[in-house]
Amino acid sequence: MKNKRWWLLGVCLTVVLLIVCNIGFKQIYSLPDGFMATMDEIESANQNGAFGSFVSASMQRSEQSVSSDKPSEGTVIFKLFGIIPIRKVNVICSGEEEVYLGGTPIGISISTSGAIVINEKMVETEQGYKQTEKSETFKEGDLLTAVNGVSISSLEQLSDVVEESESENFNITYVRKNKEYSATIKGEIDKNTGKYKLGLWVRDDVSGIGTLTYVNKQTNAFAALGHAITDNENDVEVSSGKVYNCKLLGIDKGEKNNPGQLRCMFLQTDEKKGEINKNTKYGVYGKIDNLDGLIDPNLTMKLGGRLSVKPGKAYIVSNVSGLKEEYEIEIIKANYQAKANDKSLVFRVKDKRLLELTGGIVQGMSGSPIIQDGKLVGAVTHVFMSDPTKGYGVYSDWMVANEVKD
């Protein structure tokens, strides 16, 4: 009898172990509230055993006003044996709306919320050129955000605060590598103006090239780049910004330890195509006023959530040849992410045409749409320095979550 009890206990433990080992805890608990999903994606995940052999998921859709231009919301419930609830997650029910597909290089110009240090400089005083006394050495890329407690949003405001000061001592708040610091500067009086100077070269704008990912058909809200615009490792805070058409002049092919680049040109004197409102870890966002030259109105695509993404064949869309074309890639890894990250997936360029043109992924291609099974599932974000044929992408979930809604 005793041996029989031990035998039954062993069988029970084995069954429990088998059940536990066949539950996709990592997959289930890495899905955050607000990820995108469709009924078809949930059903496909169940059929493929994405959540384990003993767990199934079902979606319950929330009610939504017909007049709303926002995607509807719902809830996904994970159940053990189809009976016992083990987790409930809120989701965005994607699939109803389509977006205009990007792939076009764009010119980006951003006015920063603050003043960016270029270098330190001498001040011409009555006694000759002098270096101002500073408690800290400022570095290129430091972002000045306040002087003596007064917030700074432009060069003009910085000059006004400094020149109107009656004291030679200035307490500076600045940001370096996204962390806030403070320092003091003893100003010097400029010989020509009779006003205090800090002894710093600064600017208040950043410009560059990126690739448009998509434009919302209903609102003209756009997403681009797939990662933040940075200045010496500081994420640039947007005061205002503009989007422009740009002309592709040539391509520097990527090589090992040299990612290459798209050589493009745009003029800020040209008519702007739209406004930039946000610069986040997952890209640049705003509204497009004029779609001409940026998208093909006949080329639209449904959005796919992270459940759509799987290792295997996919495509990136790019205008690097002068025409908007699809280039084959292979998704090597699709990471499960509980928190937003701009390195959601890893891919390898397979298309010989793109390899011949660019050598792989080059600077300026960030934001290029990634499509799989007829859905826009992400955007290119980074290239492997050691291998330009490999790159990272961000899930479209994170981009949609940051889209400008107003």
pLDDT (0 to 100) of residue 280? 87
**At which residue do the structure tokens 């001409």 appear?**
292
- Per the document, the length of the chain is 406
pTM of the model: 0.79
Tens digits of residue pLDDT in 100-135: 999 999 999 988 888 899 888 999 999 999 999 999
Provide the 10 A C-beta neighbour count for residue 291.
Answer: 15
For residues 29 and 43, give the distance between their C-alpha atoms in angstroms, rounded to a whole number. Answer: 18
**Sorting pLDDT into bands at 50, 70 and 90, what band is 68?**
very low
Tens digits of residue pLDDT in 69-96: 455 778 888 888 778 888 888 877 765 5
Q: Which of 263, 262, 281, 257 is nearest to 384 (CA)?
A: 257
Question: What's the average model confidence in pLDDT over 139-153?
Answer: 91
Residues 6+ apart with CB under 8 A from 207: 107, 108, 109, 110, 268
pLDDT (0 to 100) of residue 30? 72
**Sorting pLDDT into bands at 50, 70 and 90, what band is 206?**
confident
Confirm if 361 and 349 have CB atoms less than 8 A apart: yes
Tens digits of residue pLDDT in 163-197: 888 899 999 999 988 899 999 999 999 999 999 99
